[in-house]
Structure 1
């Protein structure tokens, strides 16, 4: 599958500009089409308050929404123009909850570009949450960190491999990026042994599969009980100067991850580079 149709979820956060830029440069690399989706959350008030709301206040609300929408559209239009995508772009404004809107429209895209949730954000302003969207949209997510800029995505890629269905799905979804990458490193952290494990040479099988697609790939693994597996991956990202991490999402239930912790939750909280994840 080629990445010919990208959807980027745009919001009012400070991180939106870097996210749009990341999506636009990926669309330009893949000669794809990019759609910017700006969900507007209607202000919901109790009926008795709504009935008494002065017309001046309603006008102020409309004016604020129009102003924020125009700012977001300008960011999108600028990124599209700089990346030569003016004739391969679309801007959509949709009223509704951001996660629901992104899930619906994301089903008609090859990949959905969404932002990591900033823990310091205004909780009264809903955003599209990747931990919900990865279940709802049925498409891979490219989650862009809320801090930093990412001028290059997919040149040096780390694949987190554990032999799971979710990891296999992520590798397949990322194949157009992996085949074009300058270097791909497959890493297994604390790989399982035995018949249900991933072999005597962890990562070798998936590396062979990737090499048959023309990927410049190598496999490695590490066994440690001194460092959290998530930190091990992020350390490797830094050591290898990777600009993208590919991984499966929620190999066990979301409830178990919330209670016990897990790799997906850890990465959504601590990512330092964009993460392409699939469920």
Structure 2
């Protein structure tokens, strides 16, 4: 009788063990171990044309998407294995720290404050703060010209504050809820210029409905080195991503992605930055 009970207990324990193992592998998302198989979750922007955009058909497009897809492939994941997660600017560090994403590719400028919370691979792109103006407007060729103009940016934008506080203190700053509102205002001559990173401006100007309407002023009001954000201390992944970025530049895929996503705006990009 005692032997029977012991056997039953062993059998029950074995069943529970097998069940737990099966449940543990249910998600199929390993977060990106680098060994391939399963899924990898990557953070991008969903609302930045030219960089990271979720299209009406549910697919994703943009330079950051192309970079992330290339890196994922070098880590052992096909495009179908990628789970895209929206990563608004204010949430990027939290998403990385909480393990909600393996890494973030989302116009993520490297700076000392952010490096206290996350590590970066790259940089993979050098952007500059710039101005977008109407294509027929030749009156704005330098930041100081905005002193008699209406400058638009999104509410809370540091880019607009930089111009207003340092370069054109007399500019009439108009703050809207989103870049699309600024573009409408620019087209309708309600505002004279829009400011943010030139890569973002080029993305909007490259959209089919905007082509030919706007141009970049070509000013370099700041340096913004975009990096790929990942969990603090994950040097193994950082090294693998850096190797992927170097390969992307050397085999021509980097420039091809830049041309495809920003080319229609006439954007003159900087060469691929050296990986630090």
Output the TM-score relative to the length of structure 1: 0.25
Q: Work out which structure has the larger RCO, using CA pairs closer than 8 Å and 6 or more positions apart in sequence.
A: 2
User: Could you state the TM-score of these two structures normalised by the residue count of structure 2?
Assistant: 0.25
